[in-house]
């Protein structure tokens, strides 16, 4: 079983601040469609860290009146600082430069800049050259960079040439973050799925990079009449949703629920599923994989990014390397005997338990305590 890879670099990368009280400023994450940020800040607050959600321009306005109200500025998803209307290049460039100027000013005023790298690149950026430039400058500007696995650290070093003060702080689990009281029988009754069916679940926002069309093609090749593909999650792209609806029209075994799943209903879908299938076309980290493990559900995933560290083939699910291997991976799942599936469910949950938020909060707290 893989253990979460934890970086100890922060213990030797810099002198700790003498004042143990740290205030972190961070941009609000909205819409808040999963509990990652909630769990993260809760874990850090348990170490006495104060968190304030505030937009970058508001911090700058405070500084203009000589109000330095924090110690750390922690960035997560950064596309808001460079992704603008593609038909307004001049405006996009000006806005990006203004945001960079603000970040430089924060650092000059003694703020510790921290960036958690969730993706190599955003999944739908309208200005790729601007994005690459912004990310490269940010990689040079930040005091500390956080990645979620050894694969991510290697990829970050290869892309940006930076290895100093790059810390591995893994994604935490979702155990207890969502209700989990409903049993499998009741969950399936709510969704109208028979108890004897084998359910393959694709869960989360419906987007092209997640390989949903490829999953549908692969599922159509399965001969098992008792297999069900359940696709659940919000789709904001009307054209892509139409393509999905057309792709599933000929196969009555496929069920589509293209809307946002409320927190209290996550358990319905996870406890209905036998397997959670996440055939990403390109991925660095997957919170959905950890969500599945947190509900004791084995996953079917490609060998990409930090998934190679999280999932052991045959223990926590099944892995494949190319799209043309997806059918074989799905068939492996369908052919798994019940006793082996139950063992994999237990191993999946045990793996999720290794990614404990208390440990993650401690790591982040130590990073925040470094001198700039």
Model confidence over 278-333: pLDDT tens digits?
999 999 999 999 999 999 999 999 999 999 999 999 999 999 999 999 999 999 99
Of the pLDDT bands very low, low, confident and very high (cuts 50, 70, 90), residue 70 is: very high
Taking residues 211-235, report their average pLDDT. Answer: 98
Q: For position 14, what pLDDT does the model report?
A: 45
For the chain, percent of residues with pLDDT exceeding 70: 91
Predicted model pTM: 0.91
| Predicted confidence (pLDDT) per residue in 133-162, tens digit | 999 999 999 999 999 999 999 999 999 999
Whether residue 13 is predicted with pLDDT greater than 60 in this model: the reply is no
Angle in degrees, CA 147, 153, 159, rounded to 5: 110
With b for 16 or more beta-carbon neighbours within 10 A and e for fewer, the 213-231 pattern comes to bbbbebbeebeeeebbbbb
Of the pLDDT bands very low, low, confident and very high (cuts 50, 70, 90), residue 85 is: low
Q: For position 214, what pLDDT does the model report?
A: 97
Q: Check residue 6 and report its DSSP letter.
A: -
Is 170 exposed, middle or buried (CB count within 10 Å of its CB: 0-12, 13-18, 19+)? buried
Taking residues 18-22, report their average pLDDT. Answer: 67
Whether residue 180 is predicted with pLDDT greater than 60 in this model: the reply is yes
Q: For position 86, what pLDDT does the model report?
A: 63
Which tokens hold the place of 282?
């390109």
Taking residues 237-245, report their average pLDDT. Answer: 97
Judge contact between 304 and 225, C-beta under 8 A: no
Alpha helices (H) along 192-236? 212-220
> End-to-end CA distance of the chain, in Å?
37
Whether residue 16 is predicted with pLDDT greater than 70 in this model: the reply is no
Query: What Rg, from alpha-carbon coordinates, does the chain have?
Result: 22
Taking residues 58-78, report their average pLDDT. Answer: 92
Spatial CA neighbour of 127 closest among 167, 81, 164 = 81
* Strand 112-116 to 50-53 pairing: unpaired
Q: For position 4, what pLDDT does the model report?
A: 44
Residue 301 sits at φ, ψ, to 5 deg, of: -140, 155
Of the pLDDT bands very low, low, confident and very high (cuts 50, 70, 90), residue 69 is: confident
Whether residue 1 is predicted with pLDDT greater than 60 in this model: the reply is no
Whether residue 17 is predicted with pLDDT greater than 70 in this model: the reply is no
Contacts of 216 by beta carbon, 8 Å cutoff, 6+ apart: 229, 244, 247, 248, 251, 254
Alpha helices (H) along 87-173? 89-108, 128-141, 150-160
Of the pLDDT bands very low, low, confident and very high (cuts 50, 70, 90), residue 209 is: very high
Q: For position 370, what pLDDT does the model report?
A: 85
Domains for the chain: give ranges and CATH numbers. Answer: 9-172+356-368 (3.40.50.2000), 184-353 (3.40.50.2000)
Q: For position 94, what pLDDT does the model report?
A: 87
Taking residues 267-279, report their average pLDDT. Answer: 99
Of the pLDDT bands very low, low, confident and very high (cuts 50, 70, 90), residue 182 is: very high
């Amino acid at each position: 079983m893989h253990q979460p890879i934890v970086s100890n670099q922060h213990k030797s990368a810099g002198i700790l601040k003498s004042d143990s009280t740290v205030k972190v400023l961070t941009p609000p994450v909205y819409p808040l469609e999963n509990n990652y940020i909630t769990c993260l800040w809760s874990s850090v607050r348990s170490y006495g860290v104060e968190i304030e959600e505030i937009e970058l321009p508001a911090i700058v306005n405070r500084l203009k009146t000589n109000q330095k109200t924090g110690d750390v500025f922690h960035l997560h998803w950064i596309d808001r600082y460079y992704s603008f209307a593609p038909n307004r290049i001049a405006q996009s460039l000006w806005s990006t430069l203004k945001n960079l100027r603000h970040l430089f000013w924060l650092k000059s005023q003694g703020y510790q800049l921290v960036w958690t790298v969730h993706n190599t690149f955003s999944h739908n950026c309208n200005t790729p050259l601007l994005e690459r430039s912004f990310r490269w400058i940010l990689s040079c500007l930040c005091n500390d960079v956080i990645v979620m696995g050894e694969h991510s650290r290697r990829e970050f070093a290869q892309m940006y040439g930076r290895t100093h003060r790059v810390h591995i702080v893994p994604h935490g689990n979702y155990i207890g973050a969502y209700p989990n009281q409903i049993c499998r029988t009741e969950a399936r009754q709510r969704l109208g799925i028979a108890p004897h069916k084998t359910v393959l679940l694709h869960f989360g926002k419906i987007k092209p990079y997640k390989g949903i069309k490829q999953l549908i093609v692969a599922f159509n090749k399965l001969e098992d009449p008792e297999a069900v593909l359940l696709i659940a999650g919000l789709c904001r792209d009307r054209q892509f949703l139409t393509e999905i609806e057309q792709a599933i029209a000929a196969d009555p075994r496929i069920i589509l629920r293209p809307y946002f799943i409320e927190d209290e209903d996550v358990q319905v879908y996870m406890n209905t599923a036998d397997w959670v299938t996440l055939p990403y076309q390109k991925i660095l980290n997957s919170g959905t994989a950890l969500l599945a493990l947190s509900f004791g559900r084995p996953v079917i995933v490609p060998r990409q990014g930090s998934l190679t560290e999280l999932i052991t083939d045959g223990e926590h699910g099944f892995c494949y390397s190319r799209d043309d291997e997806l059918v074989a991976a799905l068939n492996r799942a369908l052919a798994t005997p019940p006793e082996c599936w139950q063992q994999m469910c237990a191993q999946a949950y045990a793996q999720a338990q290794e990614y404990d938020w208390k440990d993650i909060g401690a790591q982040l707290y130590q990073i925040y305590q470094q001198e700039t």
